[in-house]
Structure 1
Amino acid sequence: MTRHWTRPRADPAAPHAGRPAPPSETVSSAIPAARRGKESTMDREGRLTVTAGGSSAIDRTNGRPGIGRHGIVLRWSVWLLVAASWVSGAIFAAYILAFFGGVALKGSGHRWNEALPGLHDAGSLLTTVAIGAHFIAGGVLLVLGPIQLIGRVRRAAPALHRGLGRAYVVSAGVAGLGGLVFIAGKGTIGGPLMDVGFGLYGGLMVACAAMVYGHARRGDHERHRAWAIRLFALTIGSWLYRMEYGLWSVLFGSLGRGAGFSGWFDAVMVFFFYVPNLVIAETFIRVGRKEYGLAVDLATAALLLAAAIFVTVATSIFTTSIWGPRMVSAFN
C-alpha cells in the first residue's frame, strides 16, 4: 500500500489549499526532507523506501539508512587500515617492551643507543627516565588505540571502554611529557629543527589527550570521538617515523639523509611523521559528518586503502629486518 506522508491542513482557506503541498511541508519520521516527485512506501516487514521515478533512492530498514556500494567500500577501507595499524602497532609495541624494557632490566640500558644514538645517558637520570617512560607509554598506546576506536566494543562494554580510555589518556600524557622533558634536558640529535618538530608533536599529544578526557567528562560524545581519532593519529606517529625512515632507506638509500639528521629528507621527516596522519584523521572526521557524495567517499576510501597497504608492507620489512632480530637479541 502506498502512502503520501503529508502534513494535514485543517484550514481549507490555507494558502496551499486545493493544490499539492510544497516540499517544505512534506513530513516523514524516517526521511527529514522528502522532495517533490518522491513518495514513501512501507511493506509488511516495516521496510520504508523512498522512490523516485520507480527506482529506490533511499532505503531504510528499522530506522537505519541503507548503505550503497561506495559506503561499504569506505567502511571496509577503514577497517583494513585499523586492522593493519593494530597488528603493526602491536608488533612494534612488543619490540619496544622487549628490547628497551628487556635490556634495561638486564642492566644494559646503554643498548638503547643501538636504536637511536643519545637515548641512554648514565649521567642524566631525569632525561633517561623520561625517554624510557615515553617508550613504555608509547607501547601501551599502540596496543590500546585500535580497541578504543571499535564501535562495537564501545557499545557492548562501555565500562571497559572507559577504563581503557583512562589508561590511554594517561599513557598519551606520559608519552608526550616524557618526550618534552627529554628534549628540554638534552635536545634531539637533529638539532633545533628536530627539537621544534618533536616538541610540537609532544605538545599536540598532551593537548589532544586533555581534549579527549575533557569532552568525555562533559558527555559531548561527538567531540570526544573526533579528538580521540586525532589523538590516535598522533600516537602512531613514532611508529610511522621508524617505518617511513626504513622504507625510504630501502627505496632510495641515503638520498636526502645527512650526518646528525642534517639532510633535506631528515628535515622533512621531523614533521612528516605526524602531520599527514592528522590530515587523514581530519578528512575521516569531516567526511563522516556529512554526505559528500560518491566521488569524495571513493577518494577517501582510496586514501585509507593506500595507507593500509603501506602499513602492511612496511611492517613486514621492519619485522623481519629490525624489530624481530632486536627482540631476540634482548634476551641473549
Structure 2
Amino acid sequence: MKMNHYYKGRAPDLPQLNEVGKPRSQKTKASSKWIVAALLMLSVIPLIGGAFRLTVLAGTAEITPDKARFFVSSLPMVLHILSASVYAILGAFQFATGFRQRRPGWHRAAGWLLVICGLLVGLSGLWLTLFYPRPDGTGELLYALRLLFGSAMVVSIVLGFTTIRRGDVIRHHAWMIRGYAIGLGAGTQALTLLAGELIVGPPSELGEALLIGAGWVINLAVAEWAIRKRSVHTARTASADVSHLQ
C-alpha cells in the first residue's frame, strides 16, 4: 500500500505537542484508561443479562412463559449474546489510544474480529426482532426503533470497513465509533429505564419505547461529540506539527 494512500484523510502520526512543545502522551494515556473503564462498566448490565439468558437456554433456569420465546430458535439468540459480549469488551480497548498505536498489529486483528462480531450483533438483532414472538409490552414504536437502530449499526460497520479499505482513517474511526455506540445501547437503556421508573414510576408501552430509544440517542450524541472532538484535535495537531517543523 502506498504511503500517501494510507494517510488519506488524516495527518501523519507525528508527536502530539502541547502549548510549550511537550508531549501529551501522559494526558492521552490517562484519558484513554478512563474511557475504557467507563465503556466496560456500561457493558456490565447487558453482559449479566446475556449470561442469564444463556443459562435459560442451557436448561439450568426455570422456563417461565415470558422466557419461552427464547426457545423458538435458540441459535440466533446465542449468536447475538456471544457476539455482543465480545464486541462490547474488545471494542472498549480500541479506545486505548496509546496501546492501539504501540500495537498496530493487534489493532488490525481486533478490528477484523470486531467487524465480524458487530455484524453478527446487528443482523441477529434484526432477525430476533423480525421473527421472534414479541414480548408483552412491545408496541409498534419500539419495534420500529429496533429495526431502525439495528439497521443503522450494520450500515455503520460496513461503512467503517469500506472506508479503511480505501485508507480513509478518519471516516473509518467515525463510522466504527457510531456502530459501537449503537451496539452498546443496551447498557445505556438499562440506565434510562431505571431513571424513568424512579422519576415517574413503571413506564407505559409508549414510555418504555421512548426510554429505550433515548438510550440509543444518548449514545449516538456522545459518539458525535467524540468524533467532532477528535476531528478538531487532529486538525490542531496537524497545524501545530507543521508549524513546529518549519
1:233-273 deviation line (CA, Å, top 9, x unaligned): 1121012112321233234422xx12xxx24x223124211
Aligned to 1:245: 193
* Paired residue type of 1:169: V
Deviations 1:77-117 (CA, angstroms, capped at 9, x unpaired): 6653432221342x336414532223322364836x7xxx4
Judge conservation of contact 1:93–1:140 (CA < 8 Å) in 2. Answer: no
Distance 2:49 2:147 in 1: 21
The worse-fitting range, judged by mean Cα deviation, of 182-191 and 217-226 is 182-191
Relative to its length, the structure with more strand (as a share) is: 1
| 2:220 is the alignment partner of 1:278 | yes
Whether the aligned pair in 1 keeps the contact of 2:42 and 2:188 (CA below 8 Å) is: no
Q: Which residue does the alignment assign to 2:232?
A: 290
Say whether residues 1:60 and 2:9 are aligned partners.
no
Task: State which structure, 1 or 2, has the greater radius of gyration over its C-alpha atoms.
Answer: 1
Structure 1 residues 184, 155: closer, same or farther in 2, change over 3 A?
same
Higher helix fraction: Structure 1 or Structure 2? 2
2:209 equivalent in structure 1? 267
Read off the aligned partner of 2:231 and give its amino acid letter: R
> What TM-score results when the alignment is normalised by the length of structure 1?
0.56
Match of 2:221, as an amino acid?
V
Q: From 199, 206, 215, give the equivalent of 2:163.
A: 215
Amino acid at match of 1:168: L
Seen in structure 2, the aligned counterparts of structure 1 residues 93 and 156 have a Cα distance that, compared at 3 Å, is farther
Ranges in structure 2 where 5+ consecutive residues have no aligned partner = 1-16, 234-246
The answer to whether residue 87 in structure 2 is matched with residue 145 in structure 1 is no
Deviation string 1:26-81 (CA, Å, 9 cap, x unpaired) is xxxxxxxxxxxxxxxxxxxxxxx9xxxxxxx94224xx6x79xxxx6x99666534
Query: CA contact under 8 A between 1:234 and 1:277: conserved in structure 2?
Result: yes
- Equivalent pair of 1:133/1:178 in contact (CA under 8 Å): yes
Q: What is aligned with 1:158?
A: 104
The residue correspondences of 1:8-27 to structure 2 (distance < 5 A) are none
Within the candidate set 91, 99, 120, 2:69 is matched to 120
1:94 to 1:279, Cα distance in 2 relative to 1, 3 A: closer
- Cα distance in 2 for residues equivalent to 1:174 and 1:109: 28
TM-score computed with the length of structure 2 as normaliser: 0.74
Q: Distance in 2 between matches of 1:270 and 1:152?
A: 34
- Indicate which of 135, 141, 151 corresponds to 1:203: 151
Query: Alpha carbon RMSD of aligned pairs, Å?
Result: 3.0
Q: Decide whether the 8 Å contact of 2:29 with 2:96 is kept in 1.
A: no
Hey, what does 2:40 align to over in structure 1?
86
Q: 1:94 to 1:203 in 2, by over 3 A?
A: closer
Is residue 230–residue 281 contact of structure 1 (8 Å, CA) maintained in 2? yes
Aligned AA for 2:109?
A: G
Paired residues for 1:227-242 under 5 Å: 227-242=175-190
Query: Identity of counterpart residues, as a percentage?
Result: 23
Query: Cα–Cα, structure 1 residues 107 and 142, in superposed 2: closer, same or farther, change >3 Å?
Result: same
Q: Does 1:102 align with 2:50?
A: no
Contact 2:118 2:157 in 1 (8 A): yes
Distance 2:42 2:145 in 1: 24
AA of the residue aligned to 1:133: L
Task: Verify the 8 A CA contact 2:40 2:88 in the aligned structure 1.
Answer: yes
Amino acid at match of 2:179: L
Could you say if the C-alpha distance between residues 88 and 199 of structure 1 is closer, same or farther in structure 2, counting changes exceeding 3 Å? same
